[in-house]
Amino acid sequence: MTPPRDRAAGRRSNDRPSRPPNLQRRSQLAGEAAAAVAEVESALTVDPDPVAAAFFDVDNTVMQGASIFHLARGLHRREFFTTRDILGAAWKQAYFRIVGVEDPEHVADARASALAFIAGHTVSELESLGEEIFDESMAHRIWPGTRALAQLHLDQGQRVWLVTAAPIEIATIIARRLGLTGALGTVAEHVDGVYTGELVGEMLHGSAKAVAVQQLAERFGLDLARCSAYSDSYNDLPMLSIVGDPCAINPDTRLREHARREGWRIRDYRTGRKAARATMLTAALAGAAAGTVAAGTAIRRRLG
């Protein structure tokens, strides 16, 4: 009987001798593979389209709900301002939004109250908090369908901007996290990095959005007839009307009717119940909070 050690030795003697690795061939294969990947990536690269771009509203268009509401809630949790402060200013905003009477003195008073919230705070403080709040309260509220539309424009070599009444701070964070070109938002004045409690101009709302888009088009040589714009609100009709490809996203009743009459594209990513409630609640509640705090939490930025 063959000892176990001898049997093992016998098996090894019958094995084919191992060949040394062909390092030269492996190097050749590695080089060919790398070149093939580079070729594929080059083929997938889209030439930039310098005259076409897309402009997206944020609240209820890119994100479920009002971005400023999520920001305000996060700031409140961090004791950035008191419950009494935000409720008082929100009521003033809600009054003229729900009733439909935008008395100039009333609006000015509401804006002054909101701006008082951040007067004396630093830009860096709000920027840091905005990053945290995006991660905890906003990232999971991005509409996948709208995100896909924005990516489609990017894939076509077009630039994509957010255009919103929300603070330029939070708008810039959202744009950066989604890989977009940039953002336009409401701008608050600051001196030496500290907020003064004043706006630079007015809130970026309604016709102001159209003006901002037109100025951006002039600056970058865009052909607005080849540009697209997306929004959920009839208030953004000025912006939607100046581009060649307007699209209503999760539209309110007035915008939906207008879009149907004009033959515009309509995309609704809400379920039936959410869509039905949105018309009544979004403008009255989320919109009121958005208008209030947007005036008080924006950051002064210049287009680079």
CB environment 278-302: b (16+ within 10 A), e (fewer):
beeebbebbbbbbbbbbbbbbbbbe
Query: Cα–Cα distance between 82 and 76 in angstroms, integer?
Result: 7
Under 8 Å between Cβ of 159 and 116: no
Find the distance separating the first CA and the last CA of the chain, reported in whole Å: 87
Distances (CA, A) of 122 to 77, 146, 193, 201, 300: 18, 33, 6, 20, 11
Token pair of 274 as six digits:
């959410």
Positions annotated as catalytic residues are 57, 59
Distances (CA, A) of 4 to 10, 13, 77: 10, 14, 74
Kindly tell me if the per-residue pLDDT of 239 is higher than 90. yes
Query: Cα–Cα distance between 175 and 183 in angstroms, integer?
Result: 6
Instruction: Tell whether pTM > 0.85.
Output: no
Query: Cα–Cα distance between 219 and 60 in angstroms, integer?
Result: 28
Kindly tell me if the per-residue pLDDT of 209 is higher than 90. yes
For residue 153, give the nearest of 26, 59, 247, 38 by alpha carbon: 247
Cβ atoms within 10 A of the Cβ of 234, count? 19
100: left (phi over 0), alpha (psi -120 to 50) or beta: left
Under 8 Å between Cβ of 180 and 109: no
- Model pLDDT for residues 44-79, shown as the tens digit of each residue: 556 789 999 999 999 899 999 888 778 777 877 887
- Model pLDDT for residues 243-296, shown as the tens digit of each residue: 999 999 999 999 999 999 999 999 999 875 444 444 444 444 444 444 434 334
Confidence (pLDDT) at 27: 64
Query: Cα–Cα distance between 50 and 220 in angstroms, integer?
Result: 8
Query: Cα–Cα distance between 218 and 266 in angstroms, integer?
Result: 28
Query: Cα–Cα distance between 194 and 123 in angstroms, integer?
Result: 6
